[in-house]
Amino acid sequence: MLHFKKITIDDKKAIMTFTYPSKYYNCDYAFANMYSWSFLYDSEYAIQEDFLFLRFYIEEKGHKHLAYMFPIGNGDLKHAINIIEDDSTTMGHPLLILGVTSESKNNLSSLFPESFTFTPERNYFDYIYLSEELRTLKGKKLQPKRNHINRFKKNYSYVYIPITPDIIPKCMELENIWCEANLNNEDREALCRERQSMTRAMERFYELELIGGAIAVDNKIIAFTYGSPINEKTFGVHVEKADINYEGVFSIINQEFALRIPQQYIYINREEDLGIQGLRKSKLSYNPVILLEKNTAIKRR
C-alpha cells in the first residue's frame, strides 16, 4: 500500500533523487513545477520499492479525477503500475496516467497488452530544443529571430539582469501589467492560477534553485524569465513574460537567457503551447529538435 504525502519545499531532494538522473524530459517532472502548482492539483508523492510515485487531481466538468504520472525508478515497472492501479481503485477511480510519452506508451502496451486506451494530448506536447541552437540562432530557419534581435538592439539600449530578491517585485509588477492587458472573462481563472503559481515560485526562488533573468530598458523591467533543471541533460523554462510594446523583446530574452543556462544542459524544454495558436506558431518557429508526445492512458476495466 502506498503512503502519499503532500509535496512541500522540503521534499525537493527526495524527489529529485529520482527525477534528475532519469531519462524523462517532461516539464511535469521539474520539481519547481510540482511545487509551484501543487496548490491547484493537490499534488502528492510516495517512494516505495525503488520507485517515485506522483499523484494529483485534475478537474473536468466540475468533477475531480485522480491521476498519476508515469512512475520513475529502476525496479519492476509492471509491479509499479499494478501498485498505482490498486491505489487508484482503492480511491474509487479507474487508473489514469498523464504525460505518457511514446516510449512509456510502448512500455505499457508491452507489459499490459490491450489493457490501456491512449489519447494524444497535442496541446500538452513539450517543445524541446538544442541549447546550442537557442544560444547561437544559426541557420536559415532562425534568421527571422536574428533579425528581431538586431532590430531590438538597434532601437533600445538594454541590460540583462539576473533575477535576485531585489528585482522580484519589479518582475511581478510586469506580470500584473501583462495580466491586466490580457485579462478577459474566458482566461481570467487560468491567468489568476498562473499568477499564484509564479508567486509561490518567486517566494522560494533560491530554495527551488531557480535560475532567471530580466531585460531592462531605461531602468524599467520589460521582460523576465526563469526555469530549473528537469533532468541532468534538460533545463526547463517555466515562465517567460514581456512587454510586447518593445518589438523583438521575446527574441532577446529567449537568447540572453539561453546563453546563461549552464552548458551541462544539452536540451531546453520550453513546455507546452496549451492550444494557444500564437504560442504554438512561436514555439514551432524556434525549430524544436523534439516535439515530445504526451498521452493520457486509461486502464480498461
Q: What is the pLDDT of residue 4?
A: 97
Q: What is the pLDDT of residue 183?
A: 65
How many Cβ atoms sit within 10 Å of the Cβ of residue 53?
Answer: 24
Q: What is the pLDDT of residue 192?
A: 83
Q: What is the pLDDT of residue 50?
A: 94
Name all domains of the chain by residue range, CATH numbers in brackets.
5-125 (3.40.630.30), 126-292 (3.40.630.30)
Q: Is 92 left (phi over 0), alpha (psi -120 to 50) or beta?
A: left
| CA–CA distance, 3 with 53 (Å, rounded to integer) | 10
Average pLDDT, consecutive stretches of 10 residues, N- to C-terminus, the chain (301 residues): 95 98 96 97 96 94 89 96 96 95 97 97 97 96 96 97 94 86 69 91 95 97 97 97 93 97 97 93 96 97 77
| CA–CA distance, 44 with 206 (Å, rounded to integer) | 22
| CA–CA distance, 236 with 252 (Å, rounded to integer) | 18
Q: What is the pLDDT of residue 177?
A: 81
Q: What is the pLDDT of residue 187?
A: 67
Query: In this structure, what C-alpha cell is assigned to residue 47?
Result: 517512494
Q: What is the pLDDT of residue 186?
A: 63
